[in-house]
Structure 1
Amino acid sequence: MSDSRFGIGLVGAGFISRDAHAPSVDYLSDVHIAGIQNRTRENAVDLAETCREHGRGDPSVYGAGELAELAHDPEVDGIWIATPNFTRTETVDTLVDAVESGATLQGIALEKPIARTLPEARHLIDRIESVDLPHAYLENWIHEPDIKDLRSLLWQRGRDAGRPYLARSQAEHGGPHSGWFWDGQKQGGGALTDMLCHSLGGNDYLLRDPEAEGQLEPVSVTADTETLKWARESYAEELQERYGVDYEEHPSEDYARVTVRYEDAAGNPVVSEATGSWCFVGSGVSRHIELLGPEYSGQVRSDDDSSSVFFSDALGDGDGWAEKQTATSGRMPIAAATVVTGGFVAENRDAIRAFSAGENATFDLFDGERILRLCMAAYKAAEDGTRVELADASLDSYTPPPAR
């Protein structure tokens, strides 16, 4: 590091880097985007130019095969991995090799989900831990101001009545924005691993006592998965034409429902209910989050925007601006500062603080592995049509049906 600023190296120049991590720098003092590596160099060049235009840094650009060079860049202090799931193992191996050969990184942050399978997750963690490199699990839900405040208020004011016993999360949109998401082998699954990892992670966070971490154990998982929309002929043809995937022959689930039964330290039941889909037709992402206790409840409804605009069909042929927007006419939300309200600024601030202190972030890759285990149990429960008892489940060699 050449000065007092923290330099972020972005691996991946896609949606999450472009619309979340790079803009988060606007709200973080003494932080800049120092480097960008992407397999398609042109995309990294475009994102680097955007960073310069907005005063987010003057990042060096690296293309295919140049990940080690990014790690050795003296301006880069931490690496943010925002690449497709099927590239994670190779990416982490290359970065750890670079550290072993002298790269002086302070930490690695990894976007959700941590991996496609538990063996992959364990490999990533073992490699990063082998060089004593701090790490962060980038799950933005648990950093969102509304969700954090909901948790803090209900636990603080409701503690005398009893701990929360039920968390519900629903997250839906109209489908992913890149072709690899639709490929079960590349992504590792479907809507469950894409959307339900948010919901399961958020519920897990809400149900855990802020003053007694580790006092909640998942006991069993039940689940249902379906392909409701995208395997229908007309929609499958759309996916074939747009992304080159065959959803009629090789579908992933576009809907999932998961229930996790926990027990608290006293043996009392605690329940997480999560649903998600790629079937929602609306102006963006629809989310409903609830936390219930003996004498209280709280809700976060992120599709209930207070500000909106309306366009008639005559103007409906333009580009959208809201995340996962599936129309360009009608009433649309004005998503002001979603990089803040969506938790991306807070998660990155937390990771940078931790890395600068030589520590893991508040949510690290062990948390990511724990949530992935719930996802694997959910797939197995849905596939077998049974309740999966986590104490007896053999999940370390399990691969979800869409990924086989």
Structure 2
Amino acid sequence: MIGVSVIGAGFWARQMHLPALAQLPGVRITSVVATSPESAQRAAAPYDEAQALTDIAEAAADPDTHVLDIVAPPDVHLPAVEIAAAHGKHAICIKPLARDLDEADRMLEAVDEAGTRLFYAENVPFIPALQEARQLVDAGDIGTVFRVKACEGIGEPHSPWFFDPDRSGGGAILDMAVHSLEFCRFFAKAPITAVYAEAGTFVHHDRTTAEDTAVLTLRFANGVIGQCEDSWSLQGAMDSRFEVFGTEGRILVDNLHRQPLQVVNARAGWSYPMPIAGLVADGHLAMLGHFLDCLRSGAPSLSDGHVGRDVLAVVDAAYRSVASGRREEIKETTR
């Protein structure tokens, strides 16, 4: 039995990670850690024997806990991974891995020294529709891939802390483009060597100095061109579209078309009542199951901490490009 403590009690923890972990065989949710006892208790209540805690170190010290699943704001990621490593526990960390490259490198150093593992909870490679698309690409059904494109947009983040760059580390590039970048990497199947980025704050300028809209153009080592359109500025709807262009065909995945019912109103904004649970359709169940299977078997992971660090290297170059107005080269990646 693998014991998992979930660090965080917000939307993503309650709606995705906790329900997914509860469905996985051989997994026990040992605790939920939140900033307040009330939040921790509310998130832990549906899961038998899960403790409600406010101290990450207390969760990591529990001998029945083997993994910390960090589903908290980015300013918590580094200290939580360091605490996990200090107690000999593995860590799963939601995207973005960290607020910047320095923090990501410190996280990797901590787990290397402890001999523990760090998994990067980026769900995009685990989305069933994208896994099917990857099989078609690998089979040569659309010829040679030469361009990839991702569009990820929402009206605004689901929590106020996103608008505080000290906590979040950045805006739509760090929050949304990390998904788009991982999609592009997944299908281009080569490292990103350069990025040109344009960004601005058009809708939420009264709430944050961070960018709410960004467009990135990518160049891969194998010549593939990539495009990422990411925003917190899409009014009245959500966007989640992925395209792969080949010399003999094209694939379009509209990740919202799995749901034919869209509801938009002035009170609640947009909503998509799901016929397929989001934790399945968006790959979270498969992702967490993969991580825990890797712990059991010792097998390499499709998405470990080095993947998250390499995505941050592209994010770093994108922010440098916004500042310089030029295409920027990617600093050396970890693999």
Task: Give the TM-score of the pair, scaled to structure 1.
Answer: 0.78
1:39 aligns with 2:35: yes
Count of aligned positions: 333
Runs of 4+ aligned residues of structure 1 deviating over 6 Å after TM superposition are none
Q: Is the 8 A contact 2:262 2:270 kept in 1?
A: no
Q: Distance in 2 between matches of 1:146 and 1:87?
A: 31
State the match for 1:385 in structure 2: 325
1:225 aligns with 2:206: no
Deviation at 1:67, TM superposition (A): 1.6
> Gaps (5+ residues) in structure 2?
none
Say which SS state the counterpart of residue 281 (structure 1) adopts: coil
Deviation at 1:32, TM superposition (A): 2.6
State the match for 2:303 in structure 1: 363
Q: Distance in 1 between matches of 2:262 and 2:33?
A: 37
Deviation at 1:304, TM superposition (A): 2.6
Q: Distance in 2 between matches of 1:39 and 1:156?
A: 48
Cα distance change, pair 26–222 in 1 and its aligned pair in 2 (3 A) = same
Amino acid at match of 1:84: P
Cα distance change, pair 389–174 in 1 and its aligned pair in 2 (3 A) = same
Deviation at 1:25, TM superposition (A): 2.8
1:82 aligns with 2:84: no
1:120 aligns with 2:106: no
Q: Is the 8 A contact 1:309 1:334 kept in 2?
A: no
1:292 aligns with 2:245: yes
State the match for 1:177 in structure 2: 158
State the match for 2:210 in structure 1: 252
State the match for 2:256 in structure 1: 303
Q: Is the 8 A contact 1:114 1:365 kept in 2?
A: yes
Cα distance change, pair 182–206 in 1 and its aligned pair in 2 (3 A) = same
Higher Cα radius of gyration = 1
Say which SS state the counterpart of residue 50 (structure 1) adopts: coil
Task: Give the TM-score of the pair, scaled to structure 2.
Answer: 0.93
Deviation at 1:219, TM superposition (A): 2.0
Amino acid at match of 2:174: T
Q: Is the 8 A contact 2:122 2:179 kept in 1?
A: yes
1:282 aligns with 2:236: yes
Cα distance change, pair 71–275 in 1 and its aligned pair in 2 (3 A) = same
Structure 1 residues 2-13: aligned runs within 5 Å = 5-13=1-9
RMSD: 2.1
Q: Distance in 2 between matches of 1:310 and 1:224?
A: 31
Cα distance change, pair 203–62 in 1 and its aligned pair in 2 (3 A) = same
Cα distance change, pair 70–192 in 1 and its aligned pair in 2 (3 A) = same
Q: Is the 8 A contact 1:169 1:289 kept in 2?
A: yes
Q: Distance in 2 between matches of 1:158 and 1:179?
A: 44
Give me the identity figure in percent: 25
Say which SS state the counterpart of residue 79 (structure 1) adopts: strand
Q: Distance in 1 between matches of 2:295 and 2:46?
A: 26
Amino acid at match of 1:224: E
> Gaps (5+ residues) in structure 1?
53-57, 100-104, 209-215, 240-246, 321-325, 396-404
Q: Distance in 2 between matches of 1:376 and 1:117?
A: 7
